Structure 1
Amino acid sequence: MLRVSRIFLEREALAYPRAHDHDILARFPDAERVEVASHWNIPGLHGNEGLVRDWVRVKRTVLVLGVRKTFPVRPNGRSADFIAPGFASGCAMACAYCYVPRRKGFANPISTFVNLEAIHRAVGRHAAKQGPKKPAQTDPAAWVYDIGENSDVSVDALVSDNVRDTVAFFRTLPGAKASFATKYVNRALLSYDPQGRTRVRFSLMPQRVAKTVDVRTSPVGERIGAINDFVAAGYEVHLNFSPVILYEGWRRDYAELFEQLDDVLSDEAKAQLKAEVIFLTHNALLHEVNLGWHPKAEALLWTPETQEAKTSQMGGENVRYRHGFKGKQVAALRDLLARKMPYCAVRYAF
């Protein structure tokens, strides 16, 4: 997954123990270390259109260490109640539909923040201000904080102890739990002892499509095969059917996926299982980037005959499946899931 040969170090990060050899730098002792003024705007990396051709190589070989400057906790209401300030951004995987590269130019390796304690303090202060949680689709009793909005937490755990320490932090945070979606099976997380205070959402789609668009991720069968073990290790495990991509035969493939899940899942896993369903949202700028390194994926993702313009909650100009048409497909998927896995409630679908 990672063969880091160059680490860009924000100068300020060198003042933090987490950056030094007992944690992050010790994992990549042979990597070239390059000091930079800012983790966000690195000359030759961010905004370098020529790097599109090396999209995957950069993700595999480059790491950025920085200091997080702001600590917003934003309301969400879908995957979680709140989005926590992340301890990383970017990813070593290369899912063709990922929205993070839309904001980071033409290269999107992992950027890891070394001031984790400041992030935890911000979340702790926020959680302390919340009253008792009223039952909601996010969770019936706990305030849920998404800790991996802009990265894949399972991969982040290959880089630093940020993930292990955050799982431990949420064990001690009254009335709250962590949550993250992942497409990578990192069995080291099984030793983190979450005690039910961290929710893992395994992202799934039919393997026939995943092999084209889920680049450098764990095979779907491996993700499914890990669910029982994560439940047994003390995680709450939900499913994230995202993104749902429409193509000829998609319903047949999802029926087979649901049957595979039903065959594999333990009774314990089924008893606590819930799902979220998110249909594809794409972006014209990302479409152009993808054409530079993975045009085959765009044959699935960019279908103007079924898509329309959409302004996102953050103000971005995206495309989604057309209104009316999409609603019928959402209903069809929910009906299929209810028939194949009646024990798996859908927390939300759009």
Structure 2
Amino acid sequence: MPLTRDLLDVTTIYHEPAVDAFPRGREILERFPDAARIPVPSHWNIPELHGNAGSVEEWVRIKRSTLVLGVKKGLSMRPNGRSAHFIAPSTSNGCAMACAYCYVPRRKGFSNPISLFVNVEQACAAIARHAGRQGPLPEPDTIDPERWIYDIGENGDLSVDAAVYGGVRDYVELFRGLPNAKASFATKAVNRDLLDYDPQGKTRIRFSLMPATIARVVDVRTAPISERIAAIDDFVAAGYEVHANFSPVILYEGWEADWRDLFAQIDGTLSDAAKRQLKCEVIMLTHNADLHAVNLGWHPKAEDLLWRPDIQEAKVSQGGGANLRYRTGWKGKWLARFKALLAEALPYCTVRYAF
């Protein structure tokens, strides 16, 4: 994906003082020599960014024009057990894109542009030590049949990060050399520079997919759905394991027909080689009252789809947040219906994880 002015035109860099002590930090600063540099004590505490709901113009402007650079303090692995076995120390937090349902702004503040962590060597060393202590995967499971899976992109989109600096390549190269581990990350962008990373089957990319008519409303500043689907064959040929991330599944009048059309598009586009390795995750929409209030200020059209108190209920998430999810009982029925549609249209696409 070219680094276009539509997505990123960096004019301001907030940075922790130690950033230029790291090669990847110097790389970013040298890449944007004309950007204003503003030292900050912590990437977590920037009043101009965090807590600034702003207007739609400010929301998008900040994401386009601003980078935050920091040093990752915590390098521990968190057990996951759903999409991955472990959540690795991520290379970033925040995103240049602006999906209306994104959970990251709830945790860090608005508008939450890309924050890149420059101590990549330290993070890679921590992952290698952890993987070395794990030994072989004891037995096949729904996460992977052979290796421990580490999610390396929990709070950002690494396809976009890779257009800014080489930290993503560092991670892919790390896992290429770990015999018992594999990296994984979800993306809504298509960055063809990643095709040259030579992952040798040790990185799993999960392209997030939903009906295009809905994506045009809620997947703000992302690659078109058709472009994501068209890229799958090329990434498989380049040595990636490529899965689909059907997320979020949003319920509305006519959702079943739209998903049938999407499944037909996938089936008609993918090569046999891509189909043989295809698996997926299915994640029903989770929303949040605070995010709803902010979205009303910059993108109210999205809330017509996301805010459905008639079919949603409050629930405390695994991370302790107060969120809205589709009502218990009904959610299970809708999820079962979704999986039935998927099995009918894409019988070769195994559901690894559904929630």
Provide the TM-score with structure 2 as the length reference. Answer: 0.96
2:288 match: 283
Superposed displacement of residue 325, structure 1: 0.9
1:2 match: 8
1:14 match: 20
1:156 match: 161
2:118 to 92, 95, 114: 114
Q: Is the counterpart of residue 230 in structure 1 residue 239 in structure 2? A: no
Deviations 1:29-51 (A, max 9, x none): 22111111111101322223446
1:90 to 91, 94, 98: 94
Tell me which moved more, 332-341 or 123-132: 123-132
Q: Distance in 2 between matches of 1:26 and 1:223?
A: 31
Q: Distance in 2 between matches of 1:252 and 1:230?
A: 28
1:305 to 285, 310, 324: 310
Question: Between the two proteins, what is the percent identity of the paired residues?
Answer: 66
Q: Is the 8 A contact 1:154 1:186 kept in 2?
A: yes
Q: Is the 8 A contact 1:205 1:244 kept in 2?
A: yes
Deviations 1:241-276 (A, max 9, x none): 000000000000000000000000000000101011
Q: Distance in 2 between matches of 1:159 and 1:71?
A: 22
Q: Is the 8 A contact 2:53 2:59 kept in 1?
A: no
Q: Distance in 2 between matches of 1:76 and 1:63?
A: 29
Superposed displacement of residue 220, structure 1: 0.1
Deviations 1:103-144 (A, max 9, x none): 112220000011001111111111111132110010000000
Matches within 5 A, 1:177-326: 177-326=182-331
SS of equivalent residue, structure 1 residue 129: helix
Q: Distance in 1 between matches of 2:81 and 2:110?
A: 31
Q: Is the counterpart of residue 37 in structure 1 residue 49 in structure 2? A: no
Letter of the 1:127 partner, please give it.
A
Q: Is the 8 A contact 1:51 1:107 kept in 2?
A: no
2:146 match: 141
Q: Distance in 2 between matches of 1:155 and 1:114?
A: 15
Q: Is the counterpart of residue 104 in structure 1 residue 108 in structure 2? A: yes
Deviations 1:174-210 (A, max 9, x none): 2000000000000000000000000000000000000
Q: Distance in 2 between matches of 1:225 and 1:49?
A: 35
Letter of the 1:259 partner, please give it.
A
Q: Which runs of 5+ in 2 are unaligned?
A: 1-6
Q: Is the counterpart of residue 54 in structure 1 residue 65 in structure 2? A: no
Q: Distance in 1 between matches of 2:189 and 2:228?
A: 7
Letter of the 1:262 partner, please give it.
D
Q: Is the 8 A contact 2:55 2:297 kept in 1?
A: no
Superposed displacement of residue 95, structure 1: 0.3
Q: Distance in 2 between matches of 1:29 and 1:250?
A: 47
**Structure 1 outlier segments of 4+, above 2 Å:** 47-53
What is the RMSD of the two structures over their aligned residues, measured on CA atoms?
Answer: 1.0
Provide the TM-score with structure 1 as the length reference. Answer: 0.97
1:79 match: 83
Q: Distance in 1 between matches of 2:18 and 2:119?
A: 10
Q: Is the 8 A contact 2:56 2:299 kept in 1?
A: no
Q: Which runs of 5+ in 1 are unaligned?
A: none
Q: Distance in 1 between matches of 2:272 and 2:286?
A: 34
Q: Is the 8 A contact 2:135 2:180 kept in 1?
A: no
Instruction: State the number of aligned residues.
Output: 348
Q: Distance in 2 between matches of 1:183 and 1:48?
A: 25
Q: Distance in 2 between matches of 1:144 and 1:313?
A: 20
Q: Is the 8 A contact 1:51 1:106 kept in 2?
A: no
Q: Is the 8 A contact 2:78 2:88 kept in 1?
A: yes
Q: Is the 8 A contact 2:55 2:298 kept in 1?
A: no
Q: Distance in 2 between matches of 1:335 and 1:103?
A: 34
Q: Distance in 1 between matches of 2:123 and 2:267?
A: 38
SS of equivalent residue, structure 2 residue 291: helix
Q: Is the 8 A contact 2:151 2:185 kept in 1?
A: yes
Letter of the 2:259 partner, please give it.
Y
